[in-house]
Amino acid sequence: MGMALSFYNTLTRRKEEFTPLYPPLLRGDRGGSGKVRMYTCGPTVYNYAHIGNLRSYIFADVLRRTLEYFGYEVPQVMNVTDVGHLTSDADTGEDKMELEARKEGRDIWQIARFYEQAFFEDIEKLNIEPPAIKCRATEHVPEMIALVGKLVERGHAYQTDQAVYFDVTTFPTYTDLSRQSLEDKLTAARDEVQEDPGKRSPADFALWFKAVGRFEHHVMRWDSPWGVGFPGWHIECSAMSMKYLGDTLDIHTGGEDHIWVHHPNVVAQSEGATGRKFVRFWMHGAFLVVSSLGRDLKSRPNEESEDAADDRRMGKSEGNFLRLGTLIDKGYDPLAYRYLCYSAHYRAKLRFTWESMDAAASGYKNLQDFAARAKQIGGDEQPWVAEHRRKFEDAIADDLNMPQAMAAVNELIREAERRGEYGVLDALYSFDKVLGLNLRESAERATSVDARIEGLIKEREQARADKNWARADEIRKQLSEQGIALEDTPSGTLWRRTG
């Protein structure tokens, strides 16, 4: 029996054994049947996602796939933020969506749908399983208004001329998740431009913005008990997660930047309204970091000096970003980027360089080639494979340790080659349920040949048997021109598609 499934919980700053809130009746070592209620903070659709954002969705996908590997059902909910996210995560600045619509001179709804579609195309290319439910903020405004109403009713919220705010002093555990003292937060907030003199404390945050003052011309707007306006960014995640998953979620995932503002606000809103625990496990993915080696990463004019680019977090607001489409244009398989993400633990920063991207592409190619070889050679699984399965499972069960899981995969491959025993595809394909690298599809594609090609390969084998080397070479050349590579081994001629 292996060890339990354990995840690092940002709330307790510890690795904890994971079981879902509603445990199944029957359990295996690490799971069994049962539902894990999981919410993933989705994209703000004002621009393309950059590969740093996408890393965070790869992390959430690996988490979900790991839970599924151990037998859980995961009804995952992901929001699409199409209103209310200001250029600062706090209440200052402009709505990112409205700003982009003005910049591009396009209709705001068009912008929202366009970038939403681009996002879901990207995650499909990365073989990220689509969430069971994806929900747009703009389609849940009534739920948000109801939640704000409840907070006002329970004394957690108040309104000014400009907005409705959450009063953080009414929620004593406000700083539990961020572990940033309220005094520090207040000091930081005081340095910001205060745009509403009616706000009781600079640490309070907006639940609803009225279409007045700086938001007088806000295009997206709805009626509410507090006047026409639009919801603040944070309220959508409380309203939608509780609508689809209930008051208490098993897991909530997001980028590590959400630990200090967004997520504490979401907790305050949800627990303030229900009086129940909101999230049992908070899990956060670390950033992708761009080093100065990748100066040509910046697909947009960069506002900073050339040598200040070292170790900058990749963020849209930094004007310093690389899209999945850029990698594809440069000839990389999107799944090679997925493979690259496994080179670091999800809680560790990952430094992106073109060298590491190349290394990942060739590592992925080797893995695909191995799967194609193993498929052609075949064989039954031998008892020694079990130990590698256990190592792989131990790695993913231990807070999704993907570098260690990949080490287990590579050990399995080395041992198969050393022993000349290739009955490892069942193991590899079951690992791939978590890895999501489409190994079965690529092995099948690489080894599928049509009858004409198969005939040529047979003819060449006969020519070799007859020592007719000229004909054998001619056929090899002909096949190579058609993108078929041959390899003569003691167990016969192997082939694979190279293109």
Q: Which residues bind Zn ion (CB under 5 A)?
A: 41, 237, 254
Q: How far is the CB of 116 from Zn ion (least distance, A)?
A: 15
Give the strand pairing for 288-290 and 312-313: antiparallel
Task: Tally the C-alpha atoms within 13 A of residue 341's C-alpha that lie toward its C-beta.
Answer: 29
Helix (H) or strand (E) holding 135: strand 133-136
Q: Which is nearer to Zn ion, 34 or 254 (CB)?
A: 254
Q: How far apart are CA 261 and CA 258, in angstroms?
A: 6
Q: How far is the CB of 317 from Zn ion (least distance, A)?
A: 17
Which residue from 145, 115, 134 is spatially nearest to 221, judged by alpha carbons? 145
Instruction: Report residue 392 as tokens.
Output: 């792989």
Which residue from 211, 210, 253 is spatially nearest to 37, judged by alpha carbons? 253
Q: Which is nearer to Zn ion, 202 or 232 (CB)?
A: 232
Q: Which is nearer to Zn ion, 31 or 254 (CB)?
A: 254
Cβ contacts of 337-340, under 8 Å, gap ≥ 24:
337/51, 337/54, 337/126, 338/58, 338/126, 338/127, 338/435, 338/436, 338/437, 339/363, 339/364, 339/367, 339/437
Q: How far is the CB of 329 from Zn ion (least distance, A)?
A: 31
Planar angle of CA 228, 229, 230, nearest 5 degrees: 145
Contacts of 458 (CB under 8 A, 6+ apart): none
Q: Which residue is nearest to Zn ion (CB)?
A: 41
Q: How far is the CB of 342 from Zn ion (least distance, A)?
A: 23
Give the strand pairing for 157-159 and 163-166: antiparallel
Q: How far is the CB of 126 from Zn ion (least distance, A)?
A: 20
Q: Which is nearer to Zn ion, 46 or 370 (CB)?
A: 46
Q: Which is nearer to Zn ion, 40 or 368 (CB)?
A: 40
Give me the helices (H) in 309-401, please.
324-329, 334-341, 354-377, 385-397
Q: Which is nearer to Zn ion, 139 or 304 (CB)?
A: 139
Q: Which is nearer to Zn ion, 49 or 463 (CB)?
A: 49
Q: Which is nearer to Zn ion, 79 or 376 (CB)?
A: 79
Q: Which is nearer to Zn ion, 237 or 374 (CB)?
A: 237
Rounded to a whole number of angstroms, the distance between the first and last alpha carbons of the chain is 43
Q: What is the largest CA-CA distance in the chain?
A: 94
Q: Which is nearer to Zn ion, 232 or 254 (CB)?
A: 254
Q: How far is the CB of 231 from Zn ion (least distance, A)?
A: 12
Q: How far is the CB of 238 from Zn ion (least distance, A)?
A: 9
Q: How far is the CB of 252 from Zn ion (least distance, A)?
A: 5
Residue 219 contacts residue 210 (beta carbons within 8 Å): no
Tokens 């080397």 belong to 469
Residue 279 contacts residue 342 (beta carbons within 8 Å): no
State the DSSP string of 166-232. E-GGG-TTTTTTT---HHHHHHHHHHSPP--TT-S-TT-EEEEEESSGGGTT-SS-B--TT-SEEE-
Q: Which is nearer to Zn ion, 168 or 237 (CB)?
A: 237
Q: Which is nearer to Zn ion, 41 or 147 (CB)?
A: 41
Q: How far apart are CA 137 and CA 140, in angstroms?
A: 5
Tokens 């349920």 belong to 433
Q: Which is nearer to Zn ion, 263 or 388 (CB)?
A: 263
385-to-2, 203, 396 alpha-carbon distances in Å: 16, 56, 17
Q: How far is the CB of 42 from Zn ion (least distance, A)?
A: 7
Q: How far is the CB of 36 from Zn ion (least distance, A)?
A: 16
> How many other CB atoms are found less than 10 A from the CB of residue 297?
22
Q: How far is the CB of 271 from Zn ion (least distance, A)?
A: 15
Q: 300: burial class by Cβ within 10 Å (0-12, 13-18, 19+)?
A: exposed
